[in-house]
Chains A and B, each alone.
Chain A
Amino acid sequence: MTDQAINPITLAVLAGRMEQITDEMDATLFRAAFNPIIAEAHDASHGLYHAATGDTLVQGKSGLPIFVGVMSFAVRAVIEKAAADGDLADGDIYIFNDAHLGGTHLSDMRLVRPYFRDGRLFCYLASVGHWHDVGGAVPGNYNPAATEAFQEAFILPPVRIARKGVLQQDIIDILMRNTRLPQSAMGDLNGQLGALDLGTRRLDELLDEYGAGTVSAALDALGDRAETLMRSEVAALPDGRWEAEDFLDNDGIMDTPLPIRVALEIRGDRLTLDFAGTAAATAGPVNIALPTAVACCYVAIKHIFPDLPANAGVMRPVEIKVPDESLLAAKFPAPVGGYTETILRMIDVIFSAAAKAVPERVVANAYGTINALSIAGKRANGQPWVMFSFYGGGHGGSAEGDGLNHGNAPISTATIPPLEILEAAYPVMFRQWALRPDSAGAGTHSGGLGATYEIELLEEQAEAFLFGERGRFPPKGVAGGASAATNVFSYEQEDGWHHPPMASKMRGIRLKKGQRVQLMTPGGGGYGPPDKRDPAAVARDVAQGYVSSEAANKIYGTAWQEAEQ
């Protein structure tokens, strides 16, 4: 890249134009994707990355938040592979899903395409999307009993799916033979290839219009400005070191709590996140690979400073220390399918630590589990079915107000399907789809409520699986706010209701017609001491049934009984 100075007007215009290219790539895939995880839940992302370092230059705004930090690792893996291959050419496209190289989990298929200008590598374009099925032991790849990545999915290292613009049918054949849903996979692959094509065309136009030198200078300048912005945000915070810890219930194999610890240190305009003291890598799939851990720190930081751009410059003043061999830097072939639970807990501890430094900048912990619940069986005509969904919970309270009731996870922007869509597609009926009273953490500003979902089986039999968390350790409040309720899962058998022995994780419980499962999700933690809560707000909570009068008396005293709503 050049050191050519760029005028501030061109820079502001180019910043918007490049953001638009990546937004258009997002839009192209969302429209074309076959599977609802991409089409509806937007579990995908696109961006432009540095030719030499893989650093994020620009990234689409509508993709999944966790990808904002993780994509540069995917590009870096391809840069290394391309160097080893030694013959990178215009029109090549690499594809892989190896999570130990590219972060997140094996369901995420990453496509990386070098962009050449005048015979020279200018930057990389990348597309990632969550495919519906990539082989492995369990349809949909959420296998709570996996002890190796091999049991989670088939593993593809970076290989070229296109060479000099020619698609390699051999690679496509291997891919399609390793998924239970080849039609869906082919649709998603085509969508991702289409997004990369579109990005390439748009970059061509942009470079024709402004010249490669100017665009290159703009990219450099945007990185520097992102860094300046971040430094000025950090410098405004007090110096010091603050620690926080929290626990995962277990890894699904051994029922032992797993600590996640962070020390957040601010010195001038630099910020350090040190995860020393975190549990070692585990047998079960709550491990994450190092790229995921780094990306997760970015998500947490961007939630604290929402105006930061999606640009690697933001992370220059940030140092992340992850102990080797910990469950935050697990080595191949450790299973990583449950990565969502672990990074949600990382975000929680970062928030808890930051709240000790600057409470008004931080929200209390959200419900903190993705709650992947699947119910599977066969219909009377022998046709198999799998209902797989994630369920919502409460958001944390903040200095501004109470937390949101029934929101989505901080790492995601996914929406939940309507119950009528689920009931039309699967033999189930929702007996309850409701807010869960008394599930929020109390506080000056309370957390949002979690939910109660109660599902009755309408076919003869089925099996239920759950991959959740927060069954033993509730989401915490900050700044004196109280914890929320824990995640409670129960299922009905002939002799009554049961809870799974692992609290939040369960394999293959058999259900018969008419039996129910019930998932009660956590609310969000509270913000500020409960005794400072406006009695009128408590009175409203009781009148609306968000809080029972017994709980209100216990937590807030009886002043609310005299208050006007």
Chain B
Amino acid sequence: MSKMIGVDVGGTFTDVFLLDETTGAARVAKVPTTRPDQSGGFLEGIGRQVTDLADVGAVVHGTTAGTNALLERKGAKIGVITTEGLRDVLEMRRRDRPRTWGLRGNFEPVVSRDLRLEVPERTLADGTIRTPVDLEAVRATATELLDKGCEAVAVLFANAYANPENEARAVAAVRDLWPNPHVSCSSEILPEIREYERFSTTALNAYLQPEVSGYLDRLDTALRKGGFAGEFMIVQSNGGVMDTATACRLPVRTALSGPAAGVIAAGYIAQTAGFPDVITGDMGGTSFDVSLIAGGNSVLSPQTSIDFGMVVRTPMIEITTIGAGGGSIAWVDKGGLLNIGPESAGSTPGPVAYGQGNTRPTVTDANVVLGRIDPDRPIGGKLDRLDVEAAAKAIDEHVGKPLGLGTLEAAEAILTVANSRMAGAIRLVSIERGFDPKRFAFMPFGGGGALHAGAMLNEVGIGRAIVPRYPGVTSALGCVIADMRQDFVQTVNTLISAVDPASLTEIIQRHVDDGMALLDAAGTKFEARETVFELDMAYVGQTHTVAVPLPVAIRNGKVVTPSRKEIESAFDTAYHGTYGRLLPDGVRRLMNLRSSVIGRRPKFDLATLAPTTGGDAEETCTGTRRVHFGDTWHDTKIYDRLALPVGECIDGPAILVQPDTTVLIEPGLTGRVDDYGNTIITRVEESA
């Protein structure tokens, strides 16, 4: 039981990371992702790593099954039972529109209007029950939904955050007659004020439940059949893992599972390498995803929209996406301005150089034409050799001619504009959080990011980039190291002067007990258990709340009641930190309590991934290639990246290759192999 496996299923590849805890050996494998059922690739990838699953202590999975079901609208047929007068809340949203300009586009909710049924019941905002729920009506509507073929149901009652009684009674009645466990209840999933966000999250949970739990069941069964007796866990959007039973109950928490695992790994790698402040950049085919880690901690956002009108409110690792990926198309508008994206050729048909039918130039085509990607070792597409000539022709026609530039100039122009947009995303992400990006390191991961790392140093003024040893399997590695984590929320909505510390303590205790029970139930060992509490607070009259960290002591499992004074001073500290001032006469309101219960899982030593020390870098040099930088070609040495010894420094221009990634070291930069096999890229003058 000494092996751990992390599996990340992406759009194109399924990555498997295997760690042998006894020997410290790690191995990676990439197999094609299978569609529509991802379990084929999953099992195939694991099969390549281990023959006997009995040796495996844990399998941790970062999955896009939920994300894809949402984006492609492939969830289950579901019904809704809701408060009289409110069946259209899900469809009316918060009165937004898909795009600011143009007034086009409409919206279909995941559950159609004829499957959203109302029952007599009403709770007021203060928790008073004005109309007790009519359980006969609830049973009748549930039966009607079943007759209409619904596989799952969501129960969504107004003000259920303030008093869940009506909703709980209705849910109990539905569960009595519903033939499967797919009954989602808004006050169980998100007991927080704001009906649209709560209803949407709950309805999407129901929408995912049959699909995701079916998928996890298939995997679990197959693993057990192969002799696996360990723990099977799923990465949540908050970057923590949960057991499969929880994942089947709360599948909506997997909405951003895959990318979250990548950010977790990036944070751990960077911190180990001595950079607790890091901005990650995951460059894929259609997008560039940026995330910020400060002091070793990822930034969490309270909610996200998976698509227009599909709001998921559950803590998620904050990832900012811009449409500048390798497949993003470069074009010149009618005013003569060069643009990159948002249109993308994706991975099919992909860049022009892939020869799969696209004729409009992409960012990858620019990299190919400038010699930065080796045409003889294509990472994507189906050709044995990338079609450099076709890429050049496309750049010439769509960018060079309209702008009066030669092919190479035009290709450089494409990269300059793409880099500038990526740099803009990095700047905005850090500035919005009040950080100066210059003090951060940049960590590219994903297949394409390492080609652009040097440009980020120049554009943003960042001091160094750190390219992890296996940038292509970062998410799978993240699965292996992620902690177990459960988040809870409860709306309290009361003035500070009226807070009852005892009843607040009761809620905290309930969150702690529920969270610890989930840790106990997991078959995993934890190095430590932690609890984190936060209050959403504001002055009365202010809309945006401030997240107020609340230190709460727990002795022998019992929560020590925080005093009103402690809450007040915690608010003042947090408010002052955010706005730089306090309002002397302001009345303070406590809106929500948020709790997290975390089980720290043992980390493995990243040094086990490192290459040998000593040896001659020149022996790893596999040749030279002409690469275009600025306005001229440079003879550029190519190195086998994984064979470079620890401590080796390679001055640019140079290219380090490994099976799924190309690391570009531009002239004036140098790359050093650190003790963990990462490549640290800095300016030459600063590397001494």
Contact = CB atoms under 8 A, between A and B. Distances in A.
Contacts, number: 201
A353 B493 CA distance: 50
A229 B335 CA distance: 4
B106 interface: yes
A435 B85 contact: no
What are the 7 A-B residue pairs with the smallest beta carbon separation, nearest first?
A225-B335, A229-B335, A392-B95, A306-B101, A36-B543, A306-B102, A415-B94
A378 to B, nearest CB: 17
B339 A12 contact: yes
A3 B313 CA distance: 52
A303 B193 contact: no
B95 A11 contact: no
Interface stretch (A94-102, A476-484, A495-503, A539-547): A539-547
A24 B334 contact: no
Given A420-B161, A424-B493, A413 B586 contact: no
A424 B412 CA distance: 57
> Chain A interface mostly helix, strand, loop or mixed?
mixed
Interface in A376-418: 391-392, 395-396, 398, 400-408, 410, 413-416, 418
A17 B541 CA distance: 35
A421 interface: yes
Interface string B84-99: 0111110111111111
A526 to B, nearest CB: 13
B95 A303 contact: no
A434 B87 contact: yes
A15 B103 CA distance: 25
Given A404-B107, A415-B94, A416-B95, 13 more contacts: A9-B413, A12-B339, A12-B420, A27-B432, A228-B334, A309-B335, A406-B93, A419-B158, A420-B161, A421-B193, A429-B130, A430-B85, A546-B113
B322 to A, nearest CB: 11
Contact of A420 (B112, B194, B543): B194
Contacts of A448: 106
B95 A32 contact: no
Interface stretch (B282-290, B421-429, B562-570): B421-429
Contacts of A23: 428
A183 interface: yes
Interface in A426-461: 429-435, 448, 451, 454, 458
B196 interface: yes
A543 B114 CA distance: 7
Interface string B112-124: 1110000000101
A405 B542 contact: no
B294 interface: no
Residue from B86, B95, B107, B195 with most neighbouring chain A CB atoms (10 Å): B95
Interface of B: 85-89, 91-107, 112-114, 122, 124-125, 130, 158-159, 161-162, 193-197, 333-339, 403-405, 412-413, 416-417, 420-421, 424, 427-428, 431-432, 493, 541-544, 579, 581, 583, 585-586
Contacts of B88: 406, 433-435, 451
B124 A429 contact: yes
- Tier of interface size on chain A: 35 or more
Contacts of B105: 400-401, 404
B95 A20 contact: no
Contacts of B161: 420
Given A13-B420, A544-B113, A24 B431 contact: yes
Contacts of B94: 415-416, 418
Interface in A8-51: 8-9, 11-13, 15-17, 20, 23-24, 27, 31-32, 34-36, 39-40
Nearest to B585: A183
B104 A398 contact: yes
A432 B125 CA distance: 15
Given A12-B338, A433-B85, A418 B196 contact: yes
A454 B431 CA distance: 43
Given A225-B337, A406-B92, A433-B92, A363 B87 contact: no
Contacts of B196: 418
B345 to A, nearest CB: 20
B493 A405 contact: no
Contact of A408 (B96, B334, B335): B96
Nearest to A34: B542
Contact of A418 (B100, B194, B339, B544): B194
Nearest to A454: B85
A8 B97 CA distance: 34
A307 B103 CA distance: 13
Contacts of B85: 430-434, 454
B100 A363 contact: no
Contacts of B125: 420, 423-424
B96 A545 contact: no
Given A363-B103, A454-B85, A20 B424 contact: yes
A124 B103 CA distance: 31
A23 B431 CA distance: 11
Nearest to B431: A24
A8 B424 contact: no
Interface string A298-338: 00001100110100000000000000000000000000000
